[in-house]
Every structure is written in C-alpha cells, then in structure tokens.
C-alpha cells in the first residue's frame, strides 16, 4: 500500500479494498520499523491516528467521505495540534502541548484525514539541512550520510521513505522546494496568503507559507484543495476564490511560454544538475512548450536581502519565548534578568541565536535604515523583476538547488555556504509567488529537482504544468531501494 499515491489510496478506500484503520496501521508499522535510521518523526500519534482512522471508515461507509477521508498525513511539528506536543524542533518548546489546532490541522481534520504524527524540522524552521533540530538531524532516505534539506526535512524524508503518503511543510526561503528536490518529491509552496498561517508558529511572518510534500502533482492538487482558502483568524489570508485544482491538470501545455532566467543557470550551478534540468526542458519542448531567455537582474541580491528581512522578523517573533509564559524555563533563576537570559540562552540553539542577533542588530537604532529598510526596497525590486517577466511568459523554470544533497556535517562550519544552498528558491518567497519542485533525474544516485514558478495565485497552472511533465516521465515514481 505504501507505494500508492493519495489518489490511488483514495480509490482503494472508496472501493473497499482496504480500510483506513488497515492503511494507518500499515504506515505506523513502517514508521516503527524504519524511522530509527532516519529520525523523520518527533512524535508518533498512534492512538489518535487509529481513532481518526476508525471515524474515517465510518464516514466512508456512510457515503460522506471527502477525497482525503481516511488518508494518513504527516504534519510538520510547526503546526499547533490540540493536545499534542508542538515543539518546532526546539528545546524551547520541548514541553509545550498545544491547546488548539492550527488552521491547517483543522482543515485536514474536517476532511477526515488521519494525522500519523509530527515530523522533525530545523529549529524554528531556521536551516537548510535539518541539522539544527534539538532532536537531532534527519537523514536522507536516498543516502543516510546526506542531508534531506531543510527546514522541512522530516516531512520530506517521511514521504520519500514512504512512511507517509503525504506531509505538510512550511516554506520561508525554500524549505519545501529544496528538501523536495533533495528527496525526489513534488514540493508545493503556494502564493503568500493562499493558506492560513493561523496556529503555524512564526519564523518570518511576511515570508512563511504552508505547503505540501507528495509523490505527484495530482496529489498536491488534492492536498491544496483542503488547505487553501480565506481564514479570518489570519490577517494575511487572502480572500481569493479557490479553484478546483484537479480540474485543469490534464490541460495540454502546447504553446506554454516558459522563461529561463539566465541568472539561475550561471556560475555555481553543478554541471550534472544543469544537464538534468536541460533534459526536463527537452521533454517540455516535445510537449509543445516554447522557451524564452529572460533576466531577473536583482536575483543576486535575494540572499543578502533575505538574511536581513528573515532574521529581523525572527528576532521580533521569538521575543515571546522568555521563560515566563510557556516553554522552557531555566532552573532557579536569581532574578528576572537571569530568568530571561538563561531561559533563552539554554532554550535556543546556535543557529536560532545567530539569526536573533543579526535581526536585532538590523532593527537597532542607527542601523534600521541602512539594513532593514534597504532590504525591503531590494525585496520590491525582486518582486518587480518577476512582474515584468510574467508579462512575457506564463511560467519560469530553473533548477531548484545548485547541487544534489550534501553530506551531514559538511557545512557546519560555513553558514554562508549553507545559506546559498537556497539561492534559487529565496527570491520566490521575497516576492510571495507560488513555486513547485518536481523530480527530474539523479546525479550520483541522488535526486535533482526542477523548479517551476508561476504568477500570484496561479497554483492551478503550476500544478497543470508539473502534472503534464509527470505524465511523460517516471522520476517521481522512483523510491529508495531500502524502503521498498
């Protein structure tokens, strides 16, 4: 059963080939068998999952099922889940039991899906390799000596190893698309505001967006149909009609205008990765797509701008974790100042501290205009580049990452090099656009991803373009031999 897609599992449940309880138990067994070597889950909610599965079977029998009813899903441990530990991969929240459901969790509950557990992640979503988690690094199922990408590495690894048919993630600077590329998955980051952030623990509020990891674009369409929509509890949620994302999947792409930004195919891109992307482009040409060279001239400023804006917002968002109201509290503080200092010093990891310090500095008196304000102006220039490009083309294609997965520990002493592993994804977040990564081949037995970017709220087009590629290739069907 674990080799099936969501669409296939939903059909099997509807036809009575197996029950949701049987399906859920199958995945629980796989998690218990395989996850010790991957560390993709922080919490396994076995009892809750089986209870949800039983209710789902009753709903299916009554003819009141949604397409995701009875489907097991792994949830990133950044989404508050009522009665379940929600840690954000941090010692700071190791003892935090959420008192309510995030909008994303609520949406899946309403659809009747089953939560298998909460997946491992970089601490407070800060990282590109899933090595900053308080619970230890996640391993890449394709090669356990390599990273799965981050921050949503646990979500990616769980689906790649078929320890879940699908999972949720969050994407602040590439944290869905990058691990999807490194783990051979379809990773969807919707437009900013398309999915509610209510109950999603904030890293950088103007950049964070919830999305999905699935085997196929068809499955991503099913997941997004549940997650998308206006939520009055989130002031950044957009009141934009939610289309039937599955309805346009089979539209052909003949005449599709595709832009290839020269800045994404320059120095720094691994030659073998470039070849796999070129091969994918050739497949689209056979399907009738037309390609045009374009320029996104401010791309080189995206990483430095991001690493001012994101740390500034994280510095503000994480100020609430002070050892007083909830979360980690140091032992026997001498006074209030000691309580604050030691609780934060002991509760946060080194990468989180680094970004808090950078953000506090950028927002400080005398430096706000020089750094934060300037970064926001650059952000506007980057968004304008995309606006101009989409006057000429329908979508933009590029590599998702400059290289395949790197070794665990390889970039521990070089945070700048780590930051640049997101160089092709960050600009999309700064502009608030939707993007998707789809499998397009392998380099030295490690997966490579093709990134597709679309205009605001054009997720249906994005999913259609990805789906058509997956109809003529089978990269997305490949899974690691160890987990078959």
Burial class from Cβ neighbours inside 10 Å (0-12, 13-18, 19+) for residue 284 reads buried
The catalytically annotated residue of 76, 139, 189, 411 is 76
Separation CA 484–CA 480 (nearest Å): 7
* Residues 456, 331 contacting (CB under 8 angstroms): no
CA distances from 293 to 258, 391, 397 (A): 9, 13, 10
Alpha-helical (H) ranges within 366-410 are 374-389
The catalytically annotated residue of 113, 155, 167, 175 is 175
User: Peptide bond preceding 151: is omega within 30 degrees of 0, i.e. cis?
Assistant: yes
Give the burial string for 45-79 (b: 16+ CB within 10 Å, else e): beebbbebbbbbbebbeeeebbbbbbbbbbbbbbb
The catalytically annotated residue of 40, 151, 302, 343 is 151
CA distances from 214 to 97, 158, 188, 347 (A): 28, 10, 9, 33
Residue 292, strand partner residues: 259
CA distances from 419 to 141, 416, 426 (A): 23, 5, 10
Q: Is 107 a catalytic residue?
A: no
Separation CA 440–CA 450 (nearest Å): 6
Q: Is 285 a catalytic residue?
A: no
Separation CA 296–CA 300 (nearest Å): 9
Measure the CA angle with vertex 298, ends 292 and 301; round to 5°: 140
Separation CA 399–CA 52 (nearest Å): 39
Q: Is 76 a catalytic residue?
A: yes
Separation CA 394–CA 453 (nearest Å): 9
* Residues 176, 426 contacting (CB under 8 angstroms): no
Token code pair at residue 69:
């009813």
Residue 167, strand partner residues: 74, 213
Give the DSSP letter string of 134-203.
TT-PPPBTTBTTB---SSSHHHHHHHHTTSSS-EEEE-SSSTTHHHHHHHT-EEEEPPTTSB--TTB--S
Separation CA 74–CA 168 (nearest Å): 7
The HSE-up count of residue 179 (CA atoms within 13 Å, CB side) is 42
Token code pair at residue 271:
């030659």
Query: Which strand (E) or helix (H) includes residue 53?
Result: helix 46-61
Separation CA 217–CA 248 (nearest Å): 12
* Residues 328, 343 contacting (CB under 8 angstroms): yes
Q: Which residues participate in catalysis according to the annotation?
A: 76, 151, 175
């Amino acid at each position: 059963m674990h080799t099936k897609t969501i669409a296939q599992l939903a059909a099997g449940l509807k036809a009575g080939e197996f029950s949701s309880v049987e399906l859920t138990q199958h995945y629980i067994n796989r998690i218990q068998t395989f996850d010790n070597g991957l560390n993709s889950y922080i919490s396994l909610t076995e009892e809750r999952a089986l209870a949800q599965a039983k209710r789902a079977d009753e709903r299916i029998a009554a003819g009141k099922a949604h397409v995701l009813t009875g489907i097991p899903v792994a949830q990133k441990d950044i989404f508050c889940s009522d009665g379940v530990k929600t840690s954000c991969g941090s010692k700071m929240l190791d003892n935090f039991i959420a008192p309510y459901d995030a909008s994303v969790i609520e949406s899946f509950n309403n659809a009747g899906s089953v939560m298998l557990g909460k997946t491992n992640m970089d601490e407070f979503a800060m990282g590109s390799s899933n090595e900053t988690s308080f619970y230890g690094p996640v391993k890449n199922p394709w090669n356990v000596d390599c990273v799965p990408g981050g921050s949503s590495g646990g979500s990616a690894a769980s689906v790649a190893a078929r320890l879940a048919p699908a999972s949720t993630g969050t994407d602040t600077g590439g944290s869905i698309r990058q691990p999807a590329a490194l783990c051979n998955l379809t990773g969807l980051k919707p437009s900013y505001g398309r999915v509610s952030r209510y109950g999603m623990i904030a890293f950088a509020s103007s950049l964070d967006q919830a999305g999905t990891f699935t085997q196929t674009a068809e499955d991503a369409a099913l997941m997004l149909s549940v997650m998308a929509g206006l939520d009055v509890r989130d002031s950044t949620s957009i009141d934009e009609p939610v289309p039937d994302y599955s309805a346009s999947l089979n539209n052909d792409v003949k005449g599709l205008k595709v832009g290839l930004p020269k800045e994404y195919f320059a120095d720094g891109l691994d030659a073998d990765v470039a070849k796999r992307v070129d091969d994918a482009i050739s497949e689209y040409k056979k399907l009738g797509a037309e390609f045009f060279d374009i320029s996104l001239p401010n791309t080189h400023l995206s990483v430095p701008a991001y690493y001012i804006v994101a740390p500034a917002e994280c510095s503000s968002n994480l100020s609430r974790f002070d050892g007083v109201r909830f979360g980690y509290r140091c032992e026997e503080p001498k006074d209030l100042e000691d309580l604050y200092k030691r609780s934060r010093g002991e509760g946060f990891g080194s990468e989180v501290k680094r970004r808090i310090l950078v953000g506090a500095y950028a927002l400080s008196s005398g430096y706000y205009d020089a750094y934060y304000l300037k970064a926001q102006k650059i952000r506007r220039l980057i968004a304008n580049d995309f606006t101009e490009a989409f006057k000429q083309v329908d979508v933009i294609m590029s590599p998702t990452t400059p290289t395949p997965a790197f070794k665990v520990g390889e970039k521990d002493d070089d945070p700048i090099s780590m930051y640049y592993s997101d160089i092709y994804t960050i600009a999309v977040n700064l502009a608030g656009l939707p993007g998707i990564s789809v499998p397009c081949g392998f380099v030295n037995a490690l997966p490579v991803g093709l990134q597709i970017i679309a205009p605001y709220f054009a997720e249906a087009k994005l999913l259609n373009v990805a789906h058509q590629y997956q109809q003529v290739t089978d990269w997305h069907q490949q899974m690691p031999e160890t987990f078959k």
